[in-house]
Amino acid sequence: MGKIFSHMTMSLDGYIADPNDQVGELFDWYNAGKVKVPSASADISFQVDEKSAEVLHELTANVGALVSGRRLFDVAKGWNDNHPVGAPVVVVTHNPPVDAAKAFPKTTFIAGVGPAIARAREIAGEKNITIASANIIQQALKLGLVDEVCISLVPVLFGEGISYFSKLDDGHKMLEDPVVVQGRRALHLRYKVRR
């Protein structure tokens, strides 16, 4: 069975987007180098430094399902039913789009984080599951479903916005020492979650 991890790009002060869901300079590292990294989406590729290319490969090569929240799904317009990671998407929501089956045939909509992760496991098989949503990662951590937290930390201060982690209802969550990779315009951090 693959692992369950989260990967988000975050500002130095802990935000993954500004108050209007805009990422601003957070994604500058995706075009800060000379190594071309294609994605599953024909119109999206990245030009990163060598170390960041290795990180992207590690984070995307073995993903069998991606779990997202409805808010991110809407902001990204459902990735046109073809997320750049190339894996099926499971959206946690109580209100799927009216035309979900027709407009997003490769996307699964499920109420509740636990059931969504269970469905993602079925879809992914032996591959990894990545969580791409701040709210969903917080709930999955609370449920003890996360193996690793990955952050690409970017040298920018937002001052306000949508935080990667906000209040954790169960208090502190201990992580192991980080694996650190210095990229251009991003410091890539990976933390195993302590059990």
pLDDT value of position 119 = 97
What is the per-residue pLDDT across 17-28, written as a single tens digit (0 to 9) for each? 999 989 999 999
What is the per-residue pLDDT across 29-38, written as a single tens digit (0 to 9) for each? 999 999 998 8
Nearest of 43, 46, 80, 85 to residue 65 by alpha carbon: 85
What is the per-residue pLDDT across 27-69, written as a single tens digit (0 to 9) for each? 999 999 999 988 877 777 899 999 999 999 999 889 999 999 9
pLDDT value of position 151 = 97
- Where would I find the beta strands (DSSP E) of the chain? 4-11, 15-17, 35-38, 45-48, 63-69, 89-92, 107-110, 128-131, 148-154, 162-163, 179-182, 187-192
Six-digit token string for 152: 């690409």
Q: How would you classify residue 40: left for phi > 0, otherwise alpha for psi between -120 and 50, otherwise beta? A: alpha
The CATH number given to whatever domain includes residue 147 is: 3.40.430.10
Six-digit token string for 120: 């993602």
The widest CA-to-CA distance across the chain, in whole angstroms, is: 45
Parent domain of 66? 4-192
- Where would I find the beta strands (DSSP E) of 81-143? 89-92, 107-110, 128-131
What is the per-residue pLDDT across 98-153, written as a single tens digit (0 to 9) for each? 888 888 998 999 999 999 999 999 999 999 999 999 999 999 999 999 999 999 99
Number of domains the chain is built from: 1
What integer is the mean pLDDT of 166-181? 86
Quickly state the pLDDT bin for 83 (edges 50, 70, 90): confident
What is the per-residue pLDDT across 159-172, written as a single tens digit (0 to 9) for each? 999 999 877 777 78
Cα 130–chain centre separation: 6
Quickly state the pLDDT bin for 1 (edges 50, 70, 90): confident
